[in-house]
Amino acid sequence: MHHLASDAPRLIRHYIAGEFVGSDRSFVKTSPVDGRPLATVCEAGADQVQDAVAVARAALNGPWGKLKTAERCAMLHRIADGIERRFDDFVAAEVADTGRPVSQARTLDIARGIANFRTFADLARTAHGELFQTPTADGAGALNYVVRKPLGVVAVISPWNLPLLLLTWKVAPALAMGNTVVAKPSEETPSSAALLAEVIDEAGLPPGVFNLLHGFGPDSTGEFLTRHPDLAAITFTGESRTGSTIMKAAADGVKDVSFELGGKNAAVVFADADFDAALDGVMRSTFTNAGQVCLCSERVYVERPIFEKFVAAMKARTEALRLGYPDDDGVAMGPLVSQGHRAKVLSYYRLAVEEGAKVVTGGGVPHFGDARDQGAFVQPTIWTGLPDHARCMREEVFGPVCHIAPFDTEDEAIRRANDSDYGLAACVWTTNLARAHRVAQQFHTGIAWVNTWFLRDLRSPFGGAKLSGLGREGGRHSLDFYSEITNICIKL
């Protein structure tokens, strides 16, 4: 990297039973910015997976299981404090692994990691269960009330696109509800998870409560973990195909699963929208994190009277985006996460042309004339002219690209937005209040934004429909998922 990477690759180890341990096998994590080696990462084999699950299971009956909710939540606040104390270390780790601009890591990734622990600690401490007064034949009645108890050992498998944010989004509520955790981050982004293990160790959680394993998915750490019979639940964010594979593994033990999977999200821009606000919003929802966010808008539908103007404005804004080193002033977009992912995105760039797309801008690889040419950069790209049935309109690219198409009526816009195998998120841009409510409620998605994007309240439900996932996280939805819910009935 430009200024932030250390010269000597470091060793990233597992965290099992309160100890940092190595492995016989390892792999090298390289920089997506310039291809240099960043770290040697240990790869957990089946025996280490077995050890981690065993100590996590044992920890349920140790001191952790005897703590009151308020005491657990105080520990979560200590973890948040620890991340805050090492804020710059976390920023450097996240930026090194992903290549994203420092400004994004500081304002989004690490800040949300801290907020996740604090939010779920406070929610768990103040959550109340349901209580029902039930009439009985003798007139005395009964009381029914609900209590939440830990599920057991929870496997947390998190992706590479928002590494700390999405790992803590699951670890925090799992711990808040008294579970123990075995976490596996993506092999592409091990660094911030390793730092989190250090912070958790310093926060004084009993050994075995949180365990961290590094490695790959199929025939490696991830598969060994998801097939383990002693898990109570598996929570996963990532590709829909991987979610399907994990679901099959979980079926044998009838384990609870929560999946946040892919998206091919639509943004609908009506002619009455605030043009500049819609332009700003669609730029953000297309190119944030080089398009590597499950919530990004890859399909943009613009009402015909403003279609040409909108495409021209998007083209100008896109060509003004600055690509470069994460800590360069004014850099708007970094590389993709890896050479492998770049090959996938570039294959869609080629496919779009084969399918008849007009490339408004981009469509290739930038040339820097320095070490960045060894990185995983691609050009931010806009297409028009594809039919809705084209593969590039139906398959998730997960890169800095959108297709912009005109529409003529509200019903047409809703129908085309919903014409997808995915159902994660959608945006509508309009100044007509009635239309905003009407359209948003007709999207077949878990999330619908009106005149904004990526605005989240951590208490609200988060998740998708169709191929985009199973279950909801956030607020009480997370507390419910990470709990065994028991109804107690008392005859009066």
Query: Looking at the annotation, which residues are catalytic?
Result: 260, 294
| Burial track 4-34 (b if 16+ CB lie within 10 A, e otherwise) | bbeeebeebbbbbbbebeebeebbebbbbbb
Q: Are strands 131-134 and 447-450 parallel, antiparallel or unpaired?
A: unpaired
Q: Judge whether 483 and 148 are in contact, CB under 8 Å.
A: yes
Q: Judge whether 86 and 72 are in contact, CB under 8 Å.
A: no
Q: Judge whether 264 and 298 are in contact, CB under 8 Å.
A: yes
243 vs 117: CA distance, rounded Å: 25
7 vs 5: CA distance, rounded Å: 6
201 vs 186: CA distance, rounded Å: 21
Q: Which helix (H) or strand (E) is 210 found in, with range? A: strand 210-212
Q: Which helix (H) or strand (E) is 354 found in, with range? A: helix 339-354
Q: Judge whether 280 and 439 are in contact, CB under 8 Å.
A: no
**Residue 108 DSSP label:** I
Q: Which helix (H) or strand (E) is 120 found in, with range? A: helix 110-126
Q: Judge whether 193 and 157 are in contact, CB under 8 Å.
A: no
Residue keyed to tokens 């399918």: 355
13 vs 379: CA distance, rounded Å: 35
Q: Are strands 153-157 and 265-269 parallel, antiparallel or unpaired?
A: unpaired
429 vs 198: CA distance, rounded Å: 43
Residue type, 386: L
CA 369 to each of CA 337, 362, 366, 402: distance values in angstroms, whole numbers, following the listed order? 20, 18, 10, 27
186 vs 337: CA distance, rounded Å: 11
Q: What angle do CA 472, 97, 34 make, to 5 degrees?
A: 140
- Length of the chain, please? 492
CA 374 to each of CA 34, 38, 337, 348, 371: distance values in angstroms, whole numbers, following the listed order? 5, 14, 13, 21, 6
Q: Judge whether 43 and 25 are in contact, CB under 8 Å.
A: yes
User: What six digits make up the tokens of 132?
Assistant: 């029902």
Helix (H, G, I), strand (E, B) or coil at 107: helix
